[in-house]
A and B are shown apart, each in its own frame.
Chain A
Amino acid sequence: GESVGLHLPTLSVQEGDNSIINCAYSNSASDYFIWYKQESGKGPQFIIDIRSNMDKRQGQRVTVLLNKTVKHLSLQIAATQPGDSAVYFCAENSGGSNYKLTFGKGTLLTVNP
């Protein structure tokens, strides 16, 4: 899993499997969370966001789960594809505004064919 303050963790999965990327956030006052994907040589790309009044939010092949009790966020990717190989970052609005984000250090997801 991922947490602010740790070196980049890695996750390796087989194509077609489901992936779960974890993130422990630090600020109990944070009420908005985002996942970004960064492919090699590119800038981060928004995947999905969730506000603290929700526990779960679904997108296309992705689901974000929020557990405020333990300050934990996860990104689930269904039927992982080679194109999903990237670094995934979680971010929280620990600065109090939705646009002042604190980013985690990322998790490297590798999808094996």
Chain B
Amino acid sequence: DVKVTQSSRYLVKRTGEKVFLECVQDMDHENMFWYRQDPGLGLRLIYFSYDVKMKEKGDIPEGYSVSREKKERFSLILESASTNQTSMYLCASLKGLNTGELFFGEGSRLTVL
């Protein structure tokens, strides 16, 4: 069974803390994505990566960075967490760029106090 695994389902952090959200996929997909999901706003793309060490900004990259050192792992980094980054974060992977069939993880719910 193919899988995208997000290491933390729930996190509580304080304002100003550095936060790492980790995501691993076992499908050997080149492309990986980070979205945030907020009520009334739907899913919004933060960053995506189309290869190891390659990344591209999505629609809302401000306040975030990413790291892709290995094909299977894509990390989202909040350098200095703020309360407006309280959200559900979803990682996804994609086999090829001619399809939109994203495989999502179960999400990481981050609360910043």
Q: Nearest Cβ in chain A — how far from B36, in angstroms?
A: 11
* A99 touching B99, Cβ below 8 Å: yes
A4 beta carbon closer than 8 Å to chain B: yes
Query: Is A43 positioned at the interface, with any CB of B under 8 Å from its CB?
Result: yes
- Would you give the shortest CB distance from A33 to chain B, in whole angstroms? 8
Binds B, one of A10-18, A52-60, A64-72, A102-110: A102-110
Min Cβ gap A27→B in Å is 14
A32 and B42 CA atoms in complex are apart in Å by 18
Instruction: Number of B interface residues at 8 Å Cβ cutoff, please give it.
Output: 25
Q: Determine the chain B residues whose CB is within 8 A of the CB of A45 once the complex forms.
A: 104
Q: Is the CB of A100 within 8 A of B105?
A: no
**Chain B residue, CB-CB nearest to A97:** B97
CA distance A112 to B80 in the complex (A): 45
Q: A43-B4, A44-B90 are in contact. Are A93 and B40 (CB under 8 A)?
A: no
Q: Which of B43, B99, B101 has the most CB of A within 10 A?
A: B43
**Contact (Cβ within 8 A) B99 A89:** no
Report chain A residues within 8 Å CB of B31: 99
What are some 17 contacts across the A-B interface (CB < 8 A)? A8-B39, A8-B40, A42-B106, A43-B92, A43-B104, A43-B106, A46-B101, A49-B99, A91-B100, A93-B100, A98-B98, A98-B99, A99-B48, A100-B45, A101-B45, A103-B44, A105-B40
Among A42, A44, A99, point to the contact of B94 (Cβ < 8 A): A99
Asked whether A7 and B40 contact (CB < 8 A) given A44-B90, A98-B100, A99-B100, the answer is: yes
